[in-house]
Amino acid sequence: MQNNTFSTLFVGQNLIKLSAVDSTNNFLKRMVSNSEPLPEGTVIMAENQYAGRGQAESSWLAEPGKNLTFSLLLQPGFLPLGSQFRLNMAVSVAIQRALKALVGEGLTIKWPNDIYYGDQKLGGILIENMVSGGRIKACIIGIGLNVNQEVFEGDLGSRAGSVYQILHEHVNLIWLLTQICSHIEAAYLKLREGRYLTLREEYLECLYLFHTNALYRQNGELFEGRIVDVSDTGFLSLETEAGIKTYNFKEIEFINQPK
């Protein structure tokens, strides 16, 4: 359905609201796979996402009606397959910008694409690419953001945070969605115009623990390292006692104890 509250050119102009769904990414993928005529920038938003997913099939739990859980359709055919992480950087930077205008300093991007405030996770991004003929046909960008949730149960209490816990007031979800979509569109258009380097620089500047000695774990072994770079393909580079080491997603664990 058409949504006129968005001041964007195309991102969010076609907004589909669902009361409940397993995963907004799955829902949008099914629509694309069924060749439904969806314009670029279509957003699927769910009040209750009961089987949300994060990186590497990890789960994403959100209290119904309190948080933003939505997926966005983009068609970045201009991006080479080997440089697809550039879109990840652009979207991460855009969300960080939108939230910074709301909560101020303290926001970072935890590699590869989690949004952090201090040492607590505010949100995450899951980008799934649909490839055809060696080109990216479509990208399904799933975004989960803790907004108005006041309490997190169990061990989530120490690891997760929300905008409400920062501001101590509730935020209108649709208004915040419009802000995020506006920033995503601006970053995406910059990427499409080939102005990638400034987005990459901002991504690194916002990176959690960038150029900070911290503890990590790989295969049960703790080691100290310092993040020095992230490649176009998304590999994390750490400076360690053994030299510069690179890691793919889920190959190392952050211990979140800066040294």
What value does the mean pLDDT of the chain take?
91
For the segment 28-53, what is each residue's pLDDT rounded down to a tens digit?
999 998 877 899 999 999 999 887 65
The residue whose two tokens read 């950087």 is 89
- Is 119 exposed, middle or buried, given 0-12, 13-18 or 19+ CB atoms closer than 10 A? middle
Query: By the 8 A CB rule, do 58 and 142 touch?
Result: no
The DSSP letter of residue 242 is T
For the segment 158-192, what is each residue's pLDDT rounded down to a tens digit?
789 999 999 999 999 999 999 999 999 999 999 99
Query: By the 8 A CB rule, do 213 and 224 touch?
Result: yes
The residue whose two tokens read 């997913």 is 53
Average the pLDDT over 145-158 and give the result. Answer: 87
Q: Is the pLDDT of residue 233 over 80?
A: yes
Token output for 206: 């916002």
At 102, the pLDDT band (50, 70, 90 cuts) reads very high
Q: Is the pLDDT of residue 133 over 70?
A: yes
Query: By the 8 A CB rule, do 180 and 102 touch?
Result: no
3-state DSSP percent of the chain in helix, strand and coil, to 5? 30, 35, 35
* Predicted pLDDT of residue 2: 46
Q: Indicate the pTM of the whole model.
A: 0.92
Token output for 36: 């439904």
DSSP string, the chain: -B-TT--SSSTTTBEEEEEEES-HHHHHHHHHHTT----TT-EEEEEEETTEE-GGG-EE---TTTSEEEEEEE--TTS-GGGTHHHHHHHHHHHHHHHHHHH-S-EEEETTTEEEETTEEEEEEEEEEEEETTEEEEEEEEEEE--S-----TTHHHHB--HHHHHSS---HHHHHHHHHHHHHHHHHHHHTT-HHHHHHHHHHTBTTBT-EEEEEETTEEEEEEEEEE-TT--EEEEETTEEEEE-TTSSEEEEEE-
* Predicted pLDDT of residue 254: 94
In the chain the domains, ranked by start, together with CATH numbers, are: 15-205 (3.30.930.10), 213-258 (2.30.30.100)
Round to whole Å and give the CA distance between 1 and 45: 12
At 56, the pLDDT band (50, 70, 90 cuts) reads very low
Residue 99 main-chain phi, psi, to 5 deg: -75, -35
